[in-house]
Amino acid sequence: MKVSELLEVLDAYAPFRLADEWDNVGLQVGSPDRPTGKILLALEVSPAVVAEAKALGVRTIITHHPLIFNPLSHLAETAPIQSLVAQLIREGISLIALHTNLDHVPEGTNGEIAERLDVVQRGFLKPREKDEKGRELNGLGIIGDLSVEYPLSQFAANVGEALGSKRVSFVGLPMQRIKRIVICSGAGGEALRCWKPGIAHALVTGELTHHQCVDARDRNINVVMAGHFESEVIVMPRLASHLRKVLREKGETMEIHVSKEEQPVVTRA
């Protein structure tokens, strides 16, 4: 399978057209005509992930966070991003990024959180596309209902357990009852900007800045923050399973690995 064919498979799962305008998704390093080879999935490219790819004999890395966001003025290996790009080129490793397009599909990052929390999906905070009957197909922030109503403090603990996060925090009164939620993995600032009174009982996200937390408090918006890394890295096994299934149906037998080396940038003392 060529990289161009893998891009078609990924586009069918999380269409690149759904990415935000400011985003940079798709093939970032390599040629569409290059063989895909072994695949490694990771949240983002780091020296540890590149070393892991080399050790596994990987020829293609798929990440959630793009390595290249802004135009590069040079490839001198005197800066972290340029150094990583140069290493990938030198090793003949292709890099593909699925970022906000993966966030906006119900089977993506937010869908993984919804499944772990046993949430029944009802729609999207900011819909992107609808079908001919007006049903919402994708968008920013999944809206859904919990199977059981919880106090905010207990719900926050449940989120931490479901996502394997030890850094969960929340904004709001501990005994507030939570039933309907909005899920927006990673940075939740855009979800906060789109929030309308009465839309849900709480926002589940990865992180907010201090001033965004103040804004949430002043607007009486309950927020549970699980950590940016923790709220997104969990989608990688889900994506790996999907790729294995689709590629098996296509008669492809390439190895697909999920990174075991990457760690959260922010750690608990």
| Alpha-carbon gap, residue 158 to 165, rounded angstroms | 10
Domain ranges for the chain = 3-102+233-257, 104-226
Q: What's the CATH code, domain 104-226?
A: 3.40.1390.30
The domain over range 3-102+233-257 is classified in CATH as 3.40.1280.10: no
Q: Quote the pLDDT of residue 268.
A: 75
| Alpha-carbon gap, residue 169 to 156, rounded angstroms | 7
For the record, the structure tokens of 42 come out as: 């990771």
Q: Quote the pLDDT of residue 116.
A: 98
Query: 192-202 pLDDT, tens per residue?
Result: 999 999 999 99
**Residues 6+ positions from 15 with CB-CB distance below 8 Å:** 101, 105
Domains 3-102+233-257 and 104-226 share a fold: yes
Q: Quote the pLDDT of residue 265.
A: 87
